[in-house]
Amino acid sequence: MGDWNRTTRQLTPAEMRPEMAAALLEHSEHFGLELALDQCRMCVETVSDKKKRGLFGGGGDRQTIQVAIITPPWLAVVVRGDKPDSAGAMTLELAQARVSDYADEPTYRLVPDSGVNVEGPFTGRIGMHDSLNTSIFIGLGDEPSADMFRETLNQAVQSARGQSSRA
């Protein structure tokens, strides 16, 4: 399916690769965020290996690693390419997130893949047209932990929206 072989596993934030943990810590300190990692509802790591295509296999990173962490009230995403020093982090308050399964998107028929699209005002990212809103793709494999992540993310967003409407 798609241009990538993806493998997703569940882990704890403490089990993150050191460079990923360092990028998340730097991000949270830079923006003054309390991510409540000790209250983690779910954390997954997806390793995506590019399938060789055509004569040269295409450009860009051959492997990307993405960690997604759900805590009340945050979604934190840390991504790195082939080089460990390329790790970067983004965060989004769950109450402001819009989540859709990539398989339900119109582009799925053209570029099949597995994962979720998450849209909202990510901390540290500025989207197009001078808006804080941007959309990211969280790639997921076929493992049960990937399905559990989808469900947990959707439940966490609904719960956060319910709490913000009562406030």
Domain ranges of the chain: 4-166
Say yes or no to pLDDT of 37 above 60. yes
Question: Is residue 6 within 8 Å of 141, Cβ to Cβ?
Answer: yes
Domain at 4-166, CATH from 1.10.10, 3.40.50, 3.10.20, 2.30.29: 2.30.29
Say yes or no to pLDDT of 163 above 80. no
Task: Give the rounded percent of residues in the chain with a pLDDT score beyond 70.
Answer: 80
Residue 51's nearest CA partner among 111, 1, 4 is 4
Residue with tokens 């779910």: 42
Q: Tell me: the pLDDT tens digits for 90-137?
A: 999 999 999 988 667 777 567 667 799 999 988 865 444 345 678 888
Give the pTM: 0.86
Quote the mean pLDDT of the chain: 85
Burial 33-57 (b: 16+ CB within 10 A, else e): bebebeebbbbbbbbbebeeeeeee
CA distance 23 to 78: 7
Per-residue confidence (pLDDT) for residue 130, from 0 to 100: 43
Q: Tell me: the pLDDT tens digits for 2-22?
A: 677 899 999 999 999 999 999
Per-residue confidence (pLDDT) for residue 153, from 0 to 100: 97
* Local structure of residue 146 (DSSP, 8 states): H
